[in-house]
Chains A and B, each alone.
Chain A
Amino acid sequence: MTGDRTDLVSDAAPEEGHDPSRRRLFALAGGAVAAVLTPGVTLFARTLTVGSGKTPVRYGLLIDSTRCTQGCDACVTACQDYNGLSKKITPDTAQWIRKVTVTDPQTGLTRSFPVMCQHCAQATCVDVCPTGASYRRPDGIVLVDKHRCIGCRYCLMACPYKARSFVGRVVKDQKPWAPRGKGTAEACTMCVERVMDGKAPACVTACAERGKKAMVFGNLHDPKSEIAQKLAQFPTTTIRADLGLEPGVHYRGI
């Protein structure tokens, strides 16, 4: 084949006004441009498809703000207890989950519900992380590789949900399933090790046991799952849906 191609090229008489060396130059330039552009185009194409494609499993949460009550913080304390987080509230305390109270100034309607890492399909923390320490698992859970995190805090700057925290002090009495490292970023892990054991995250379990059953956990891509069925039943939304980040945490009544 190669030989044929060579013959064809060598037999062809150069057309008038067309310098073969110039043609070679164009070919070379074309090749160089293709070599430079291909990885970029591939990357861009991949960026467009990541998250948008339907994977068999995408874990997510549904939070019903019409059930969640203002005084209840069962989900928050469960997270703190399970993951070994401090209960002290100071400006530099890490908070993986928090209860927010949102009031519409036009109507006076107030809602209270938990906000945590939204495990976005188009996660800004994953995009901006210079080392790839922030990553998204195929099942949709967004995590931080503590070994690779350099502590630049760009993910804290980039997260629209204020969901990331930075470990600013030595952490003692860590839980083996929730390792934390001074100088690294962290956030809700969706209790990934519990999920791998077939259990729900600690906050969801606590809400079911001590709260108002306002949280549902499950596989968003399984039509038979409770979460998928509920999402199909009534209107829900995501926080800052306008940003197009495709969060894995959905809310009802906000």
Chain B
Amino acid sequence: MATMHYREIPGRSFLYWAGLAVCALLTVAGVGAGLYMRAEGHHVTGMNQQIVWGIEHVFAVFLIVAASGALNVASIASVFGRTIYKPLSRLSGLLAIALLIGGLWDLVLDLGRPGHVLDAIIYGNFRSIFAWNMYLYAGFLLITGFYLWFMMERRLNRYSHAMGVTAFLWRLTLTTGTGSIFGFLVSRSAYDTALLAPMFIIMSFAYGLATFLLILIGGFRALARPVGERIRGRLKILLTVFVAAVLYFAVVYNLTNLYMPGQRAFEGFVLLHGGVYTMLFWVGQILIGGVFPLVLLLGKKGASARTLVMASVAVLIGGLAQVYIIIVGAQAYPQQLFPGMIVHSSFYDGVVNPYIPGWPETTLAVSGVGLVGLIVLLAVRVLPFLPLSLADEVTDVHGHDQTVTAAGAAATP
């Protein structure tokens, strides 16, 4: 039976400080961009009355969806009893919290009146899925925080299973809620479908795991801590299944639209003549985000660290493209006030609305990622989130591992 050791990272290397500095800089830049937008108004951004949610919403939704998926690894360990993933649970929980905070950061700083965000909780309108999401986000942070605590405090370990199950159910609800922000809208051709809720759940699995893999493999390489082939093999299989499932949902979603005569014009826009959106769909979402990682992962070297990193980066790029189409593409396509008619107005009815992200909202969007990095880098330095080794001889597939968090703890018994 193996003993799992966790230890804070030393955090003295140039790489660590450089990473910390870049993330801090991005975060501060995001504050600046948010304040600038607040002071000047959103006319300084690329958004307008037609494209009301821009690149920062793409990043926000992407991060929030990935947050829920990042918790997957911990869920598999504690809910489904796969002990091989247990050593990864702490990082999984940490990443989930960091990603959610990063996403909310983007959302809140983009608000027209960010100082009033708590009004959504104080005056919560329970007919609004957006208000529900506020509670779901707050609950997710709280539950995952307790889950981490129960995992890391040996005396409370016995409660971690129950908290893990709670966190798992909560995250499914949360992603259902995020998908329903769009699925509940009857106003736009791309939305108004219950399919978006489960689609967002499966997207969260893929994006979350890809983010997790990047942090895990990149971080462990920088720390010179090994990640064994066994654990890489397992994660590879998971990622393969998730990417395939995202593709499946994309096919079902688009086929459903194609089958409905009223939706064909919209599908034509996405699949054939939507310019940047068509390119993002075929090249970004399908090719880079779906086919390419599948080919890599199903290849002979599918479980190698390099392949996993490449596949994960591809999944993230494809994911961003997919969320961009879901959010911006849906607004670019003209709203159907008079289906089947040719419509003109001074308010850009009937035309495809252009959108070029401006620097304020782009800075804000990226700052969410910076904040995620900042939280993770600081957390792994002050608390023992990362195992000392994930080499094959340490990760035990069948047995139960013991957990030792004290620095320099006893050797494997």
* A contact set with B: CB distance below 8 Å: 43, 47, 76, 89-95, 98-105, 115, 124, 126-133, 148-154, 156-162, 165-170, 182-185, 239-240, 243, 254
Contact = CB atoms under 8 A, between A and B. Distances in A.
A234 B269 CA distance: 38
16 contacts: A92-B43, A92-B47, A93-B49, A98-B349, A101-B344, A129-B125, A129-B128, A132-B123, A151-B112, A152-B130, A153-B112, A168-B48, A170-B40, A170-B41, A182-B41, A183-B112
Contact of B49 (A95, A132, A161, A254): A95
A104 B340 CA distance: 8
Given A115-B337, A148-B123, A95 B113 contact: no
Interface in B112-135: 112-114, 116-117, 119-120, 123-131, 134
B156 interface: no
Nearest to A108: B342
B119 A92 contact: no
Contact of A130 (B125, B186, B340): B125
B327 to A, nearest CB: 9
A157 B53 contact: yes
B331 A157 contact: yes
Contact of A94 (B40, B49, B53, B344): B49
Contacts of B114: 150-151
B52 interface: yes
B337 A43 contact: no
Interface string B67-105: 000000000000000000000000000000000000000
Given A154-B128, A154-B130, A183-B111, 18 more contacts: A91-B348, A100-B349, A103-B341, A105-B342, A124-B185, A124-B187, A129-B128, A130-B125, A130-B128, A148-B116, A150-B111, A150-B112, A150-B119, A160-B186, A166-B112, A168-B47, A185-B112, A239-B338
The 9 A-B residue pairs whose C-beta atoms are closest, nearest first, are: A151-B112, A183-B112, A91-B48, A169-B41, A168-B42, A92-B48, A130-B131, A160-B187, A130-B130
B9 to A, nearest CB: 38
B128 A161 contact: no
B345 interface: yes
B11 to A, nearest CB: 37
Contacts of B225: none
Chain A interface helix/strand/loop/mixed: loop
A161 B119 contact: no
Contact of B341 (A104, A158, A160, A185): A104
Given A127-B128, A160-B186, A166-B42, A102 B112 contact: no
B52 A166 contact: yes
Given A132-B125, A150-B111, A162-B335, A243 B41 contact: no
A115 to B, nearest CB: 7
A47 B124 CA distance: 16
A54 B343 CA distance: 34
Contacts of B124: 130-132
Quick one: which of A129, A148, A151, A159 has the most chain B CB within 10 A? A151
Nearest to B127: A127
Contact of A148 (B49, B119, B344): B119
Contacts of B13: none
B31 to A, nearest CB: 17
A165 B305 CA distance: 49
B186 A99 contact: no
Contacts of A103: 341-343
Contacts of A149: 112-113, 116
A124 B112 CA distance: 20
Contact of A158 (B42, B185, B342, B347): B185
B244 to A, nearest CB: 31
Contacts of B123: 131-132, 148
B38 interface: yes
A64 to B, nearest CB: 17
Nearest to B354: A91
A105 B341 contact: yes
